[in-house]
Amino acid sequence: MLTKKIAILSGFFALLMLAIAGCSKTSTIVVNPGNSITETMSFEKDIVPIFTASCTMSGCHSAGAKSPDLTATNAYKALTDGNYYKANDPDNSVLMMWLTGKKSPVMPIGKGPDEKINAKIYAWIKQGAKNN
């Protein structure tokens, strides 16, 4: 009888360990650090280079790929037409939700939240998301 109890408890413990080991963190939600940026963000000089390096070079958001098209010539129109941001309201902008992990999938894919990228895009949206 004691052997049977030990076997049942061992089995339960093994299942518990497997369940715990199977738990994993799939995304990180970060605080938007863009309030600390006081200089004016330029879409052309500050934001487009981020999209080029992190979004279009991978082929994910290039012309003819997954929307929005974040190539230099199409990014602003694609973001605006697709309602991916709410000017002056980065916390309720879909773009920021993807970048911070509040909406899945976390962008950039495979890299996850990047504080420097998030700060600039957050500040740009907070400053009115101008095409400057």
Task: Determine, yes or no, domain membership for 11.
Answer: no
Least confident of 32-36, 44-48, 128-132: 32-36
34 pLDDT more than 50: yes
- Residue 40 maps to a domain: yes
Q: Which residues have CB under 8 Å from 14's CB, separation 6+?
A: none
Contact by Cβ (8 Å): 33, 99 = no
In this predicted structure, what is the pLDDT of residue 18? 45
Mean pLDDT of 41-60: 93
Can you give the pLDDT at residue 110? 81
In a domain, 21, yes or no: no
Overall domain count for the chain: 1
Amino acid identity, position 48: V
Q: State residue 27's pLDDT score.
A: 45
- pLDDT at 20 (0 to 100): 52
pLDDT-based confidence at residue 16 (cuts at 50, 70, 90) = very low
Q: Is 24 a domain residue?
A: no
Most confident of 53-62, 68-77, 97-106, 112-121: 68-77
| Higher local confidence (pLDDT), 85 or 113 | 85
- Residue 22 pLDDT > 50: no
What amino acid is encoded at 98 in this protein?
Answer: W
Neighbours of 51 (CB within 10 A): 26
Is position 132 within any domain? Answer: no
Residue 38: domain span: 29-126
Q: Is residue 120 part of a domain?
A: yes
